[in-house]
Amino acid sequence: MTVAAAILMKDPTEAKTRLRAALDDQTREGLALLLFDNTLRFLTSEHDGPVGVVTRSPLIAERAAAQGATVIAEPDGGDMNGAATLASAWARRIGAESLLVIHADIPGLVREELDLLLAEGRQSNVVIAASHDGGSNALLLTPPDAVPFLFGPSSADAHQIAAEASRRSVKRLVLKQLSRDVDRPSDLTEVLPLVPSSEATQIFAVPGIGEIEAGDDLATVITDAARKAGTPLASGDIVVIAQKIVSKSEGRMVPLADFAPSDEALKIAGDIGKDARKVEAILRESTSVIRARKQPGEGLLITRHKQGWICANAGIDESNLGAGREGMLLLLPEDPDASAREIRAGLEARFGGPIGVVISDTFGRPWRNGLVNIAIGVAGVPVLVDWSTRTDAYGRGLKATLPAFADEVAASSGLLMAKDAGLPVVVLRGLAWQDDPEARAGQVLRPIEQEMFL
C-alpha cells in the first residue's frame, strides 16, 4: 500500500503568530523554519512513500525541492483545511491509497511512532494522532479523502465524529512525541534542544574523512562520514572544513619542480635562503611582497595573496599532503567562497538547511606568537556582525563593535583540528546565526588605504 505524506507549511513570516508575545519576529520565523526543516528531513529519510509539501512560500518550496519532496502550490488566502485538501488531491493523482497529513511544528519525531501510526492505518480508515491540546498533529486517511479536513480547535474530536458519521473505521492515538507541538509560549520548553542557543552549543569533529584525492565530492565525503559516525548534520549547523582537503579535492597540488624561478625569485631566494622554486610559486600566487627576511631554517616571506590575505608563503603548504607526495606544493583554492557554496549546496541537498560552511586555514598574526584558524571561504555564515545598534550588558550603546563571526567560528574549530589528528571537518551546533547569502570571506579584509602598519 502506497502512503503519501504531506506537510502543511505556511510562509515562515506568517507562522507561529501565537508566539509573538515570547519571541521577536526574526526568532519566531527562524523557529518555524527550524521545525519545518526537522519535519521534512525526518519524512524524506524515514518514510518509504512519496513526500509532498503544501505551501505558498517560495523559500519553503525551494527547501522542499532540495530534499526531493514534491511541491504542492497553495494559492494565497487559503487555510489549513484547504491546504490539506490540495494534499488529498495530489495523493489521489499519484495513485496513493493513503495520505498522511502531518504538521510542520512537531519537535521530536521518531521512527517508532511513525511505524505505529502506519500499522494502525492498515486496520482503520482514519487514524488520528492527537495533540496535547486536542488538535490533530497527524492524520492518516485511507483513502486520501476518507473524511473532510477539520483542522482547528478540538480537531481530534471533529475528525473522529466525521469518521463515525461516514461509517469509517477510526483509531485515535496519543503518542508521546506526536502529541507535542509548538503553538504557545509554554510549548517552547519542548523545542529548546532544537533552538539555537549559546548555552546549548556543541562542537565536534567528524571522524573517518580519509585521504582526499582530486575530484572527490566533499559534500558526499562529509555526508557519509557524519552518518557513519552517528552525527548526521542538522539545520543550523556550521561546518568548518580545513582548506587542505578543499585544495586537494580541487587538484591544487603541484610539483615543486614545475616552478622555474624568475629573476625576482632567484634574488629573493638568495637574500633570505629559501628554495628559489618555492619562492617562484609564492610570487605567482601573490600580488605583492610585504616582508622578506633571512632567518634560521627557511627564510621568511610574507606576501599579499591574490585573494587579499596577508600571510606567510602565500598560504602554500607542504605538510600532511599524504604518502608519496614529497616534492609537492599545495596551493590555496582558486575561489574558496565558491568552493564553500558548492559544498553547502551538496550538504543542504542531503540534510536540509540552513547549513553554513566555513573553509579555514591556519595563519600567524602580527604582534602575537602562535597560529590560529581563520576563515578564507564562507557560504551563508556572516563574516562580520554589526553590533553598533545594540547595547552592552548594562544598557550602554555600542558604537564600534564588529565581531568577526566567521573567524571566531574558524578559530574554535582549531581546538579539534590538531595537525596530527586527521580531523579536517568540525561541526558547530546550536550557534545563533543569521544566514547571509551574500557573505564573502574577503569582507573581513581592511581596505589598503586604511592600513596603518604596512
Residue range(s) of every CATH 3.90.550.10 domain in the chain: 3-194
Q: How confident is the model at residue 418 (pLDDT cuts 50, 70, 90)?
A: confident
Q: Does pLDDT of 190 surpass 50? A: no
Q: How confident is the model at residue 110 (pLDDT cuts 50, 70, 90)?
A: confident
CATH number corresponding to 254-329: 3.90.1660.10
Q: Does pLDDT of 191 surpass 90? A: no
Q: Does pLDDT of 353 surpass 60? A: yes
Residue range(s) of every CATH 3.30.1330.100 domain in the chain: 198-251+333-450
Distance separating alpha carbons of residues 1 and 124, to the nearest angstrom: 13
**Cell output for 87:** 494534499
How confident is the model over 275-297, as a mean pLDDT?
93
Q: How confident is the model at residue 209 (pLDDT cuts 50, 70, 90)?
A: very high
Task: Decide if 318 contacts 329 (C-beta within 8 A).
Answer: yes
Pick the CATH number of 3-194 from 1.10.3720.10, 3.90.1640.10, 3.40.50.150, 3.90.550.10: 3.90.550.10
Task: Decide if 94 contacts 24 (C-beta within 8 A).
Answer: no
Q: How confident is the model at residue 242 (pLDDT cuts 50, 70, 90)?
A: very high
Residue range(s) of every CATH 3.90.1660.10 domain in the chain: 254-329
CATH number corresponding to 198-251+333-450: 3.30.1330.100
pLDDT per position as a tens digit, 216-240: 999 999 999 998 888 889 888 999 9
Task: Decide if 40 contacts 68 (C-beta within 8 A).
Answer: no
Task: Decide if 416 contacts 203 (C-beta within 8 A).
Answer: yes
Question: The whole model's pTM is what?
Answer: 0.58
Q: Does pLDDT of 200 surpass 70? A: no
The percentage of the chain sitting over the pLDDT mark of 90, rounded to a whole number, equals 61
Q: State the pLDDT at residue 258.
A: 94
Q: What angle do CA 43, 48, 49 make, to 5 degrees?
A: 85
